[in-house]
Amino acid sequence: MSAAAHEPTHHTLSVLVENKAGVLARVASLFARRGYNIESLAVAPTDDEAFSRITIVVDVESAPLEQIVKQLFKLINVVKISELDPRQSVERELLLATVRASGENRARVLELVQIFEGKILNVGHTEMTVSLEGNPVKVDDFESLLRPYGIVELQRTGRVALPKLDRTV
């Protein structure tokens, strides 16, 4: 496999911001004004209720990282910005999907959920709602294998990430 195959195709920014109304709107409008496409956006409070963490994923082609970071630091509510290298971080997404699952398809969907270590959340006569948590590649693979059965509804959380821990003593 070539080195290019391992090159990240996106930037993942972890942005610590003050937990105040309107901060997310200011960050999102900054991206909109600059024409940077956000692939994924997730926001949640941190262990300190004064702050929230915004995880923003942008593709490498559309977004000059240095420019984005400089612009974000100009926002008064931004406290800290870290780029998380996908090779040096733990990334997760959550997928919820309602999929057609009647007759023989039901057993196949159940098997697929078991293979991916997902969960069955709800079962109806002709459909079931499943969930899967995992790294974005695993979630993408699961979604593509569910598609032939007929996805009725789909929701993904967007990526969240933290740096990998240091294992040196």
pLDDT of residue 87: 86
Whether 14 and 34 map to the same domain: the answer is yes
CATH number of the domain enclosing 56: 3.30.70.260
> Domain containing 131: what range?
90-163
Residue 15: closest CA among 67, 56, 62 = 56
Residue 150 lies in a domain: yes
Residue 88: closest CA among 164, 13, 14 = 164
Whether 102 and 79 map to the same domain: the answer is no
Whether 75 and 27 map to the same domain: the answer is yes
Last residue of a domain, one of 59, 84, 109: 84
Question: Tens-digit pLDDT profile for the chain (169 aa)?
Answer: 444 455 667 889 999 999 999 999 999 999 888 888 888 999 999 999 999 999 999 887 776 888 888 889 999 899 999 999 888 999 999 999 999 998 889 999 999 999 999 999 999 999 999 999 999 999 999 999 999 999 999 999 989 999 999 888 7
CATH number of the domain enclosing 102: 3.30.70.1150
Whether 41 and 69 map to the same domain: the answer is yes
pLDDT of residue 57: 92
